[in-house]
């Protein structure tokens, strides 16, 4: 069973689930999932995981980066350009300095109110599904953090900027809150994710390139192995005599020759550098959390 990950450049239009469905039909690789949902109108990095690599998604980096354009003066029910226009107001006479200062007020940890129309669940049903049924549910604010908000340009009514943020952050909500700062309302006009799960836009594959690669049977050249996908985690290489214990999910003793950091996930690798498991130090042992097999890193 072949496992691995593939960063794709999702186009605007299809949902993340629709992209996963297309990939599954094209590759015929069995179980397929994705890390970090993108709204249908958004584009950019969407990381696809295959087979057992889907079990590794929780261990991927959670911080994300975006390139965004917010349009002042128009509010919509979905907070983006595909929603129904609710109100139009005149954009005040403001400068790039005013915009930059407003953006900086959002930098740091905070509680953010998600959009009324989103993929968040309420009693087992997504908010956008409830909205379609005519139900308006006020979502509970969640803890998020903006690490960086960098203004790129201001040409009224459009604010173009870059964002580095934590998981669970809605740039649509930021657009709403920016509009409130200037008293004219706003919506997210365009959004491109430039970093997700440790993969950048530059190292992601376009949809057209993926189709071409599959036609020529060269997916192995672009598939990222489980060990490489989790390259941000420290590693611990085990001898062959210990490998079977790891694959059985047994605990192993902490090595005496290497400094081990507590409260940190580790990649357990075999001598060939293939991922055997994800483990965490506990007392004097390594406790296995996710177990794979070397064959999971076989190439197509």
Q: Are 158 and 70 in contact (CB under 8 A)?
A: yes
- pLDDT tens-digit profile, the chain (300 residues): 678 999 999 999 999 999 999 999 888 888 899 998 999 999 999 999 998 899 999 999 999 999 999 999 999 999 999 999 999 999 999 999 999 999 999 999 999 999 876 556 544 555 555 555 555 667 789 999 999 999 999 999 999 999 999 999 999 999 999 999 999 999 999 999 999 999 999 999 998 998 888 887 777 778 899 999 999 999 999 999 899 999 999 999 988 778 888 889 999 999 999 999 999 999 889 999 999 875 555 443
Q: Is 39 a catalytic residue?
A: yes
Residues 66, 70, 75, 80, Cα dihedral to 10°: -30
pLDDT digits (tens, 9 = 90+) for 273-296: 999 999 999 988 999 999 987 555
Q: Give the integer Cα–Cα distance in Å for 33 and 5.
A: 9
The first and second tokens of residue 244, run together, are 């079977």
CA–CA gap between residue 149 and residue 1 (Å, rounded): 42
Residue 252 near residue 286, CB atoms below 8 Å: yes
- Cα separation, 165 vs 163, in Å, equals 6
What the chain holds in terms of domains, given with CATH numbers, is 4-60+198-226 (3.30.2350.10), 64-196 (3.30.2350.10), 233-297 (2.30.130.10)
Tokens of 46: 């969407």
Which residue in 217, 224, 216 sits closest to 199, CA to CA?
Answer: 224
Active-site residue, selected from the candidate residues 39, 164, 270, 296: 39
pLDDT at residue 258, rounded to an integer: 81
Q: For residues 199 and 45, what is the distance between their CA atoms, to the nearest angstrom?
A: 7
What pLDDT, on a 0 to 100 scale, did the predictor assign at position 18? Answer: 94
- Residue 185 CA to its chain's centroid (Å): 27
Backbone angles phi, psi at 285, to 5 degrees: -130, 165
How many Cβ atoms from other residues are within 10 Å of residue 161's Cβ? 22
Segment 133-190, tens digit of pLDDT: 555 667 789 999 999 999 999 999 999 999 999 999 999 999 999 999 999 999 999 9
Overall pTM > 0.95: no
């Amino acid at each position: 069973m072949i496992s691995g990950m593939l960063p794709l450049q999702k186009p605007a239009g299809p949902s993340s689930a629709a992209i996963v469905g297309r990939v599954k039909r094209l590759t015929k690789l069995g179980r397929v999932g994705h890390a970090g949902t993108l709204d249908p109108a958004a584009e950019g990095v969407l990381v696809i995981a295959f087979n057992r690599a889907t079990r590794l998604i929780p261990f991927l980096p959670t911080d994300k980066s975006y390139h965004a354009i917010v349009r002042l003066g128009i509010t919509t029910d979905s907070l983006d350009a595909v929603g129904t226009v609710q109100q139009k107001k005149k954009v005040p006479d403001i400068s790039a300095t005013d915009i930059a200062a407003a953006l900086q007020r959002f930098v740091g940890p905070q509680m953010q109110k998600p959009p009324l129309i989103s993929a968040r669940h309420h009693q087992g049903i997504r908010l956008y599904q409830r909205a379609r049924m005519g139900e308006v549910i006020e979502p509970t604010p969640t803890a998020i953090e903006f690490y960086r908000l960098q203004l790129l340009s201001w040409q009224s009514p459009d604010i173009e900027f870059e964002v580095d943020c934590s998981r669970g952050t809605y740039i649509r909500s930021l657009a709403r809150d920016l509009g409130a700062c200037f008293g004219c309302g706003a919506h997210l006009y365009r959004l491109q994710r430039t970093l997700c799960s440790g993969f950048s836009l530059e190292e992601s594959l376009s949809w057209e390139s993926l189709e071409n690669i599959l036609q020529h049977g060269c997916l192995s050249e672009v598939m990222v192995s489980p060990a490489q996908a989790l390259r941000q985690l420290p590693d611990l290489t085990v001898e062959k005599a210990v490998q079977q214990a790891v694959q059985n999910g047994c605990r192993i003793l902490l090595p005496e020759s290497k400094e081990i950091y507590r409260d940190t996930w580790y990649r357990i690798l075999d001598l060939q550098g293939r991922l055997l498991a994800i483990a965490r130090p506990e007392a004097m042992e390594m406790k296995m959390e996710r177990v794979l097999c070397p064959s999971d890193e076989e190439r197509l």
